[in-house]
Structure 1
Amino acid sequence: MNMPARALPRSLWAATACPAPAYSQAKPQLTADVAVVGGGYTGLSTALHLARKGRKAVVLEAAEPGWGASGRNGGQVIAGMKATIGDLAPLFGEDSARRMVVNMGSSAELVFSLIDRYGMNCHAIRGGWLQAAHGEKPYKETIVPRFEQWRALGVDAQLLDAHQTAAALGVDSAPYHAAWRDPRGGVLQPLSYARELARAALQEGADILPRTPVTALRRDGNAWQVTAHGTEIRAGQVVIATNAYTDGLWPGLARAAIPVTSFQMATYPLDARFDPILPVGMGVTDSRRLLLYFRRDHQRRLVMGGRSPVEDNPRFADAAPLQRAIQGLFPELGLPKPEFVWSGKVAITKDRLPHIHHPAPGLHVFMGCNGRGVGLCTMMGQLLADLADGRSAGDVPFPITVPDTFALHGLRRLGIYALSQYYRLLDQLEASGRLR
């Protein structure tokens, strides 16, 4: 089953998004080439790319498109996965690893090309992405290998020292040890992007049914029978794209990822005198295990995100750690008062990699954005559309894997808390230079 239908939670993105398009009307009986479960970036991109191939796709969303992480993330468009070719080669072989990395490296280009093609109203700016090292150890082990990989693959990446990093952030002091800059990245309004993806899919001929939670899925001969809130859909193929909000619709699938809560705050729009701080259009993520990510929005707010102190429905008081982080990075802002606070779920897999699964004939599943949702999920939608359209697994530049489930998934909250405390200690030791 999908999550029950509910209203969009209060957030900066819900308050400033473009209007939602007019969605399709449900009918008691529908037929489709492909039924897509989940109306986030992955599901919407899948439907859009299928429709462009002339396939009939129906998206079934329990709430409304963008209700989950697609409407609550930081809006940073980051090219590629966190893993390098060197990380992936022992698992999948050198050739497959290179195909994966190169393909996912074009994910930001896919996002911005779709925005251009359909004239999407989502305040997209391609101002680059900066990954900042919080100490010498992460600089050597994370920043340099990623920089060197992308430079070798032809990306005009830059390696920045501490002073260059401070200048890029618009501050006088050096809050980070170093950084690398990827010109392919940028920022956008994430809920607007989800709604505009939906509009594009509708324009191409897909159907999108909001407030239509899927309650049953079964194989019926050579097709699938999907039961969804009073609607029966018969489809040749099914794509499950529920990611961090996956439940028991398909046996065991929910245990293949841990839903981790990410928390964000947005300041009030900053005065013009603070315009040099964090140029609009550039996204920043640091190298901490409990990372910080931040950017400016189209109305000059500063948006900061990190690990959540609460599961859902955060209060303004919960923003205190992020307020202190902003003050530490940008002292001239003091302790900024939040205008918005909100949270959402990120799907983390055991190996921290995204996965495509094929658990039954005609059933395709994506799990594990692992914090790279905007670009990665858009690209995954294109790959899932190729598979559902009949392209062989060997011709898709991403491996098909078997779900690797968490044995003690029911104790995930306790495990997440314990691991978070351990990660916080390691981050502090690395930042202080005591762990090299």
Structure 2
Amino acid sequence: MAHSPTLSLWEQTAEEPDLVSPMTADVVTDIAVVGGGFTGLSTALHAAGNGLGVCVLEARQIGYGGSGRNVGLVNAGLWLPPQDVRAHVGEERGARLVEVLGEGPNYVMSLIEKYQIRCELTRTGTIHAAHSPAGFRDLTRRAEEWRRLGAPVSLLSRDAACEKIGSSAFHGGLLDSRAGTINPMGYVRGLARAAKAAGARIHTGVSVTRLVRQADRWLLETASGTVSAKSVVLATNAYTDELWPGLRSSFVPINFFQVATVPLGDRVASILPERQGLWDTGTVMFSLRRDAEDRLIIGSMGSVIGGAKGLSERWAARQLKRLFPDLGPVAFEKSWHGQIAMTADHIPRIHRLAEGLYTPIGYNGRGIAPGTIFGKAVADLLAGGDEADLPLPVTGVQQEAVRGLKAGFYQTVFAANQMLKSI
């Protein structure tokens, strides 16, 4: 079976067209944004809406990084339960962060509606599924706190989870009705379209090779020309390179792979019948969802290993058989992986790297809503706002201890997990 050279299934199926726009002349602007993903394009859209000149420079194509490769779950909050976020960030700022990101899916969906972004939006929530009794206890703790905060979440019994998921493999689940699913490439391309219409300049295929301060401005050098800007936002997250020394070493990169079946039609009518996206409580978590054309997309931490009928496809086939024994054999259409920027405490960061130079980074696998929200927050800051109004306190960069060793260790563990669960 031939696999196409596209980045992901989402690139194949996105209704929003790609935006291709080479840079042909030097640019002078208010804000330069490096990176054409959720964060960078949200920054551009909101900065342009604030009346600022903005220029986005994307080294490859719109959505090339995690934005075009992720699972497409528009989740509320962070990877950690709300009470743990407050414990890490501080009671006052943590509570504010939880509140802001709790509203994140609603804000993403409001942008999709406002700009008529074609991205297969569903509003039926997402399910955090308990892989064990201990996982269900964790979900119970999360549910109690979210309900205390007034969030529309439901703790699902084993039977209720089975009904929602179509599988008896789980010990229960947590349904978050604020959340939903999208085609992430459709969403990021829609943000680019909206930002361009608002007046932002967007250039693709442009790598920034040097970033220097000149008097009260920043100069970004590329092979296609220069950009002079009052402020700069580095919006590269897990795909950060060496442009700013030390930034790449502030997180641990891990891969997350996905495998998509061919469209399965009525065969999957009883699997996630309301089309919620799902991820589990396992240490090496996995994800599952249905797309608009009734493909099943299953994924886990790690890289794609092997092509057609390779290890990752065997893993996917084995997991689908375990979860849905009545489904029968399936054919696979596409496999891919992307990178996640993991921080030691699972909390993202907003760094001020220098005067007028900011980077939101370290989404820990929660890029869609936080990336959109953080992009808006940075755009509002650069329009004259106050750092105290950002969702997180501004910090300097700290190096992640033994980053390379951790990344290599995780990759080995994830590969072993695929192998063991393919048998």
Task: State the partner residue of 1:3.
Answer: none
* Stretch deviating more after TM superposition (54-63 or 75-84): 75-84
Q: 1:31 aligns with which of 28, 31, 36?
A: 28
Q: Secondary structure, in 3 states, of the residue corresponding to 2:6?
A: coil
Mapped contact 1:125–1:187 kept (Cα < 8 A): yes
Give the CA RMSD over aligned residues: 2.2
Find the aligned partners of 2:159 and 2:127 in 1 and give their Cα distance: 14
- CA deviations 1:3-58 (Å, max 9, x no partner) are xxxx9734311211124355545233101111000001110111011111111111
Task: State the partner residue of 2:60.
Answer: 63
Task: State the partner residue of 2:71.
Answer: 74
Find the aligned partners of 1:302 and 1:16 in 2 and give their Cα distance: 14
- CA deviations 1:381-428 (Å, max 9, x no partner) are 11121222231111223221222322323334432245558999xx99
Mapped contact 1:219–1:225 kept (Cα < 8 A): yes
Q: 1:119 aligns with which of 102, 108, 116?
A: 116
Find the aligned partners of 2:412 and 2:333 in 1 and give their Cα distance: 31
Which letter does structure 2 place at the counterpart of 1:367? Answer: I
Task: State the partner residue of 1:4.
Answer: none
Mapped contact 1:327–1:336 kept (Cα < 8 A): no
Mapped contact 2:22–2:206 kept (Cα < 8 A): no
Find the aligned partners of 2:303 and 2:72 in 1 and give their Cα distance: 21
Q: 1:145 aligns with which of 141, 147, 157?
A: 141
Mapped contact 2:32–2:54 kept (Cα < 8 A): yes
Task: State the partner residue of 1:405.
Answer: 399
Find the aligned partners of 1:283 and 1:192 in 2 and give their Cα distance: 17
Task: State the partner residue of 1:206.
Answer: 200
- CA distance change for structure 1 residues 422 and 405 in 2, over 3 Å: closer, same or farther? farther
Unaligned runs of 5+ in 1: 1-6, 429-436
Find the aligned partners of 1:56 and 1:402 in 2 and give their Cα distance: 26
- CA distance change for structure 1 residues 383 and 264 in 2, over 3 Å: closer, same or farther? same
Mapped contact 1:280–1:298 kept (Cα < 8 A): no
Mapped contact 1:314–1:342 kept (Cα < 8 A): no
How far the C-alpha of 1:335 sits from its partner, in A, is: 3.8
- CA deviations 1:142-171 (Å, max 9, x no partner) are 211221222112122111110110001124
Q: Secondary structure, in 3 states, of the residue corresponding to 1:333?
A: coil
Percentage of matched positions with identical amino acids: 37
Mapped contact 2:207–2:222 kept (Cα < 8 A): yes
- CA deviations 1:200-252 (Å, max 9, x no partner) are 10011101100001111011111100112222011000000101110100010
Where does 1:196-275 land on structure 2 (aligned, <5 Å)?
196-275=190-269
Q: Secondary structure, in 3 states, of the residue corresponding to 2:85?
A: helix
Task: State the partner residue of 1:154.
Answer: 150
Task: State the partner residue of 1:325.
Answer: 319
- CA deviations 1:44-89 (Å, max 9, x no partner) are 1110111111111111000111111111111111111122332133
Find the aligned partners of 1:120 and 1:191 in 2 and give their Cα distance: 11
* Stretch deviating more after TM superposition (286-295 or 8-17): 8-17
How far the C-alpha of 1:344 sits from its partner, in A, is: 1.1
Find the aligned partners of 1:225 and 1:13 in 2 and give their Cα distance: 34
Find the aligned partners of 1:418 and 1:362 in 2 and give their Cα distance: 39
* Stretch deviating more after TM superposition (182-191 or 77-86): 77-86
Normalising by structure 2, report the TM-score.
0.93
Normalising by structure 1, report the TM-score.
0.90
Find the aligned partners of 2:69 and 2:7 in 1 and give their Cα distance: 10
Find the aligned partners of 2:366 and 2:151 in 1 and give their Cα distance: 19
* Stretch deviating more after TM superposition (216-225 or 83-92): 83-92
- CA deviations 1:163-202 (Å, max 9, x no partner) are 110001124xx21111110001111111111111100100
Task: State the partner residue of 1:299.
Answer: 293
Task: State the partner residue of 1:195.
Answer: 189
- CA distance change for structure 1 residues 180 and 85 in 2, over 3 Å: closer, same or farther? closer
Aligned pairs, number = 417
Task: State the partner residue of 2:410.
Answer: 416
Mapped contact 2:83–2:145 kept (Cα < 8 A): no
How far the C-alpha of 1:281 sits from its partner, in A, is: 3.3
How far the C-alpha of 1:376 sits from its partner, in A, is: 1.7
Q: 1:385 aligns with which of 348, 364, 379?
A: 379
Mapped contact 1:266–1:301 kept (Cα < 8 A): yes
Which letter does structure 2 place at the counterpart of 1:409? Answer: R
Which letter does structure 2 place at the counterpart of 1:100? Answer: L
Q: Secondary structure, in 3 states, of the residue corresponding to 2:110?
A: helix
Find the aligned partners of 1:374 and 1:156 in 2 and give their Cα distance: 20
Task: State the partner residue of 2:280.
Answer: 286
Task: State the partner residue of 1:337.
Answer: 331
